[in-house]
Amino acid sequence: MKQTILAVFTAIILFTSCDLLQRNEAPVVVEPKMLNSADSMSYVMGLNLGLNLIAADSMLNTEMVCMGIRDVYAQSHKLTDEEARNAFLKYMNWDNYERVKAYETQFLEDLRKADRKFVATTSGLTYKVRELGDMKSVARSTRDTIEVCYRVLNSAGEVVDTTYYNSDTLRLALGDMTRGAQEATRLIGKGGHIEAWLPSTLAFGSAGCDSLDVKPNTMLYYEIRLLEVIPRNRRY
């Protein structure tokens, strides 16, 4: 009897929804009410889930997310484990990469249009030389030691890393920098100053950087002042 009532009720909902769609009318969404502590806790869990999902990927389809949750409770999955795995891998390894690449390409293209002093290399590095420096003293080998002042920002303008807060400098091998930062540093000599936007593939890529709280596929802005270049074959 209960199944019959449920079937009739479902049919009524489907019929009403289809009728509204034919008349181009939006269905009326009735929000559930929090009647007890279990309802409140359920809502809190939904908030936490939503925040985590936005942090992971703001492009997710919330209707599909809700469908997936309902299917788990109903024990009726629309994808097999293998299909789910393949869908996840395709999204993360291809679809997501394509979206990130398209966003970065458009962002950097708009940047170069807004400021003609920015130019791009074949790798995708987009940079502007503020001061060229002494081009007789340039870091060439990844084993060369350099001394720099720098700051790193994400595309939202948030500081990722910097030496400026403590008026400090950093001495390291050129090869210890990200690939894009190495390329930017090679473009200036001792005393030079450069600004550079690194597409995610030239920064920390799909791995991100936990120690700097850089998420995977994050484009970064570097400002670098090259204070010293010590060739690896220099002897004291």
Residue type, 208: G
Distances 34 to 31, 38, 43, 44 between C-alpha atoms, Å: 10, 8, 8, 11
pLDDT tens across 29-54, in order?
Answer: 678 888 899 888 888 888 888 888 88
Indicate the pLDDT class of residue 16, thresholds 50, 70 and 90: very low
Beta strands in 121-233 (DSSP E): 126-131, 145-154, 159-162, 170-173, 193-198, 220-230
What is d(CA 103, CA 123) in angstroms, rounded to the nearest whole number? 16
The pTM of the full predicted model, rounded to 2 decimals, is 0.63
Q: Can you tell me the mean pLDDT for 92-103?
A: 75
Highest mean pLDDT among 56-65, 166-175, 181-190: 181-190
